[in-house]
Amino acid sequence: MPEKSTKPVIAVSGGGQGIGRGILLYFAERGYDVAIVDVDQDQMAVTAADCEALGAEVLALVCDVTQSNQVDAAYAQLAEHYGRLDVQVNNAGILRRQRIMDSTDEVTQAVIGVNVFGVIHTSRAAMRIMVPQGSGNIITAHSLLGDRMPDAGLGVYSATKAFVASLTRVMAAECAPYGIRVNGYAPSVTDSAMVHHIIEERPVAKLDQISMREFGRPEQVGKICWFLCSDLAEYTTGASIPTDGGSWLVQRPFLPWEAAGKIEPRQR
């Protein structure tokens, strides 16, 4: 492996937009060099320019995470360029709404390809860099829909996120002897292309489900990732941290807001 960069390095799959972009910007502003792993070159270019403006060196890796050969080549390039990898965030994911009885192979394979195989491919590639260096953090993207509350019409998506939660615990155990910690974050409605239509079309209905009564922002996930790979979490591995504003803590999260006089009572 070549001589290591003097600054820590973070790689984020799906880093061109949304939550992945928010994570990269948060770390770039705090002294990290970054590797953007994505398939959309236009979005990568915008995020790369913004990270560079914050003082980060940027490596843009055009890569389809469902293809192990592309992932292996991208991370070989990362290792050659930086000589190290301190944080790997498996953020790339897709959501498709489709009942199981109506499901098509195309949609099912696409969701499993990114959300399951993509996580395996990027995690494995990151481990090949982290194990020899004896340190590192791998962070996976879970979901309220997989960790606690699957939804009708999203059976395949929910199942893939439950898979990632279980995989995270296994990877945490397998990586512990090498000084690598593996944890996850579980967002709910966080402003990104995947869910932006929900925020625009039915904001009140969704806010009624969230105890803090606000939608998440990508940089807030960046803060959770920062915590998970910091010394503050040095004895934490195999965990999933909710980043959902208290979504569905109770059946009707809006009731305390009504009782506090902060919103108008709902008709029930």
Residue 1 has pLDDT above 60, yes or no: no
Strands 240-243 and 180-187, bridge-based pairing: parallel
Q: Residue 196: is its pLDDT beyond 90?
A: no
Q: What is the pLDDT of residues 237-261, one digit of tens each?
A: 999 999 999 998 999 999 999 999 9
Which segment, 1-5, 96-100, 118-122, 205-209, is predicted with the most confidence on average? 118-122
CA distance 144 to 148: 6
**For the segment 59-115, what is each residue's pLDDT rounded down to a tens digit?**
999 999 999 999 999 999 999 999 999 999 999 999 999 999 999 999 999 999 999
Average per-residue pLDDT for the chain: 93
The reported pLDDT for the residue numbered 206 is 87
What is the C-alpha to C-alpha distance for residues 141 and 241, in angstroms, rounded to an integer?
Answer: 10
The strand pair at 180-187 and 33-38 is best described as unpaired
Angle at 208 between CA 204 and CA 214, to 5 degrees: 75
Q: Percentage of the chain with pLDDT > 70?
A: 97
Q: Measured in whole angstroms, how far is the alpha carbon of residue 241 from the centre of its chain? A: 11
Q: Please give the distance of CA 78 from its chain centroid, rounded to a whole number.
A: 19
Q: What is the average pLDDT across 152-159?
A: 92
Among 82, 157, 178, 235, the active-site one is 157
In this structure, of 55-64, 114-123, 143-152, the range with the lowest mean pLDDT score is 143-152
pLDDT for the residue numbered 145: 82
Percentage, residues of the chain above pLDDT 90: 84
User: DSSP for 72-120?
Assistant: HHHHHHHHHHHS---EEEE---------GGG--HHHHHHHHIIIIIHHH
Bridge partner residues of 184 (DSSP): 140, 240
Is residue 98 within 8 Å of residue 107, measured between CB atoms? yes
Q: Which residue did the predictor score with more confidence, 191 or 177?
A: 177
Count CB-CB contacts under 10 A for residue 213: 17
Stretch 29-56: mean pLDDT = 97
Q: Domains along the chain?
A: 9-191+215-245 (3.40.50.720)
Could you tell me the pLDDT band of residue 5, with boundaries at 50, 70 and 90?
A: confident
Q: Distance of alpha carbon 27 from its chain centroid, rounded?
A: 14
What is the pTM (predicted TM-score) of this model? 0.94
Paired with 247 in beta bridges are 210
Q: What is the mean pLDDT of residues 193-221?
A: 85
Task: Categorize the per-residue pLDDT at 268 as very low, low, confident or very high, splitting at 50, 70 and 90.
Answer: low
Active site residue 157: yes
